[in-house]
Amino acid sequence: MESESNTSREDGLLTGKVVHLALPVRWSLVGQEGRRPAEVACTYDIHPHGARLLSARAVNVGDLVMVERGRNKAICQVVWAGEPASPLRGQFSVQCVEGRTPWDEELRQMEEQYQPVILDDSQRGTLRGFGRPEANRRRRPRFNVEGQAEVIDGVQRVAGEVQQISEYGARISATEILRPGTDFRLMLSMFDISVAVKARVKYLVDNLGMGVEFQEIRRGDRPLLSYVLSKLRTKKVVEEFVEVEVVTERLAAVAG
């Protein structure tokens, strides 16, 4: 499945049709004195207008770089770089400013992929401390956050805000509220990082917001969500989302 939201240079981890795919590339800084020696990097995810790369050499936002894959090359600009002291160190996002992306063919052949938010035993490996999924879901801390949300329900797209978030869900406000039990896609933008999930509405908050539960997360976005949560851990934890009991049978009767 693909997301087709607009992209700007100010976007950190590029939104839109993002595909998590590791491709070897070469890149080099471009300046007034010409090109610098080429470096080897690997894409973390790719996009019609750019990519997120992982390299041993640091870059700065605004740098121009030449990115090459085989005979294909493009001039790109660095639009985001991971903080050196964070788990995202070495990662940076580029957006093409001249030429087509060197991975156009891979994008045509692949679709965006998602994976379950709750990993089964084979996916977790031998990690300790995991009990029943529902018990773990309830124990995860929740944080207040200010960010943008885009609710994608079929062909309908609704802009909103994310107010609270945890590893397994969020509370969002939107101009149009979906009914409890509705499945939809959700794009979250926080700290210049974009995370895509498939979610389900669990309850309503005063008809102004929705408590949603994450069902699946875009492959490659789990570390990004963990990074966002790690930045929020210094702030006060929200004990519980404020839930409003919703009788779905009554709503169905009114709708009928």
- Residues 21-34: tens digit of each pLDDT: 889 999 999 876 76
User: Which is nearest to 69 in space by CA: 14, 106, 18?
Assistant: 106
232 or 207: which carries more pLDDT confidence?
232
- CATH fold for the domain made of 24-109: Pnp Oxidase; Chain A (2.30.110)
**163, 200 contact by CB (below 8 A):** no
Residue 87 pLDDT more than 60?
yes
**151, 172 contact by CB (below 8 A):** yes
Q: Is the overall model pTM greater than 0.85, yes or no?
A: no
Residue 255 pLDDT more than 70?
no
Residue 97 pLDDT more than 50?
yes
Structure tokens given for 105 = 């063919």
Whole-angstrom distance, CA of residue 139 vs CA of residue 119: 16
pLDDT band of residue 129 (cuts 50, 70, 90) is: very low
| Contacts by residues 43-46 (CB-CB < 8 Å, ≥ 24 positions apart) | 43/103, 44/20, 44/91, 44/220, 45/13, 45/18, 45/19, 45/20, 45/21, 45/220, 46/18, 46/19, 46/21, 46/101, 46/103, 46/106, 46/107
* pLDDT value of position 146: 92
Cβ neighbours of residue 93 closer than 8 Å, sequence gap 6 or more = 11, 12, 13, 14, 50, 51, 52, 53, 78, 79, 80, 81
For the domain spanning 114-241, the CATH number is: 2.40.10.220
Locate tokens 């939201």: which residue?
5
| pLDDT mean across residues, the chain | 78
Q: Where are the domains of the chain?
A: 24-109, 114-241
Q: Beta 142-153 vs 183-190: how paired, if at all?
A: antiparallel
Residue 256 pLDDT more than 60?
no
Question: pLDDT > 70: what percent of the chain?
Answer: 73
**87, 230 contact by CB (below 8 A):** yes
